[in-house]
Amino acid sequence: FLKASAVASLATGVAAIAGTTQAADKKFTIALIPGLTTDAFYITMRKGAEAAAKAIGATLVFQGGPDFNPVTQVPVLDAVIAKKPDAILIAPTDKDQLVQPLKKANDAGIPVITVDTFIGTGVYQTGKGDADFPLAYIASDNLLGGAIAARALAKAVGEKGKVYVSNVKPGISTTDQREQGFKEEMKKYPNITVLETQYNDDDANKAASQLQAVFARNSDLDGVFGANLFSALGAANGVQQAGQTGKIRVVAFDAPTSIVDNINSGLVDLAIAQHPAEIGYFGVMAAYAHLTGNSIPTAIGTGFTVIDKSNVTDKNVAKFIYSD
């Protein structure tokens, strides 16, 4: 005969097992809030997230704002919190402005994981500061990405001359780090002058006009680093409109479908493709691991594929071109 205490602990054990099974069987709802909905980068991230959700039988809710801006993202976040999903994956559109709005999710018991961009310093679960509460940060190494861009542009311009960074706006973790990594690396090229950064507010048309304005002030402009999809696309268009294809060299971050033609025509020297599908996939899997009682890493780094004329037709490279 078992003692009463042994029976009780057995019962607890059985209940725990039943509980685990129940958790594993539960159909979770995971929300993915992108920086904006109409960006090939986030459309591709969504695909990866959908693939993971399918694998674990979860429902993925994809909801975001029309532009890369906290003013439009925060109301979307509030609406998502009100629906009480099991977890929120989000690309915060500002390092500081999303801290308090995301704290509301955390306070409501909804686990938060940031994808692509981070809040605060991006170092989470430290027990320090007011922005360490997200469970994980899943993204490219953007400092490294900026350094890769600098080396590529330096090579393209023959390690001398004038270049500048076409960027979105200060306060976005990804594009800030790309610019930082770019400028640090450019210090190794004393004959290259990095002109003042031009901020385009994620508007490719503005980036194109800025290219022409910088060129009008600097007829000896040699190159430009487009620090994200719209910055690069716009800067490249500006180069083309100025009739400077191949003369003003372009290094692009991100790889929308149009990049293939731009590389083939020589308008863009090189594109640094991120792996957004990987970010989405591992974001959902990290949320699932947490929701089923497993611990998860506080940071997951995803890779890059550097695309240029020499490899753009290679299938293993072309698969990293973003979805439309």
Q: Give the Cα separation of 100 and 165 in Å (integer).
A: 30
The helix or strand, by DSSP H or E, that contains position 90, with its residue range, turns out to be: strand 87-90
- CA distances to 81, 94, 112 from 89, rounded to whole Å, are 12, 15, 6
User: What are the structure tokens assigned to 20, written together?
Assistant: 């685990």
For residues 69 and 245, which CB has a smaller minimum distance to ligand T6T in the complex? Answer: 69
Tokens of 85: 């999903």
Element (H, E) at 251: strand 249-253
Q: Does 244 bind ligand T6T (CB under 6 A)?
A: no
Of 136, 217, 207, 134, which is closest to residue 175 (Cα–Cα)? Answer: 207
Q: What is the closest distance, in whole angstroms, from the C-beta atom of residue 174 to ligand T6T in the complex?
A: 4
Identify the residue among 74, 229, 252, 267 touching ligand T6T (CB under 6 A). 229
DSSP state of 323: P
On whether the CB atoms of residues 96 and 171 are closer than 8 A, the answer is yes
When computed from its CA atoms, the radius of gyration of the chain, rounded to whole angstroms, is 23
Please list every residue from 21 through 50 that binds ligand T6T, using CB under 6 A: 35, 39, 41-42
Structure tokens at 316: 């293993």
Does residue number 198 form part of the binding site for ligand T6T (CB under 6 A)? no
**The binder of ligand T6T chosen from 166, 197, 200, 228 (CB under 6 A):** 228
The helix/strand/coil state of 113 is: strand
Q: Which is nearer to ligand T6T, 58 or 211 (CB)?
A: 211
Residue choice 117, 166, 210, 305 for contact with ligand T6T (CB under 6 A):
117
Residue 148 sits in the site that holds ligand T6T (CB under 6 A): no
Name the residue with the smallest CB distance to ligand T6T: 229
Nearer to ligand T6T, 166 or 174 (CB): 174
How many chain residues are in contact with ligand T6T, going by CB under 6 A? 14
Residue 62 interacts with ligand T6T (CB under 6 A)? no
Q: Does 64 bind ligand T6T (CB under 6 A)?
A: no
Q: Judged by CB under 6 A, does residue 230 bind ligand T6T?
A: yes
Chosen residue from 44, 114, 174, 302 binding ligand T6T by CB under 6 A: 174
Site pattern 248..287 for ligand T6T (x: CB under 6 A): -----xx-------------------x-------------
Tokens of 197: 């950064």
Beta strand 59-62 pairing with 29-33: parallel
Q: Of 286 and 291, which has the nearer Cβ to ligand T6T?
A: 286
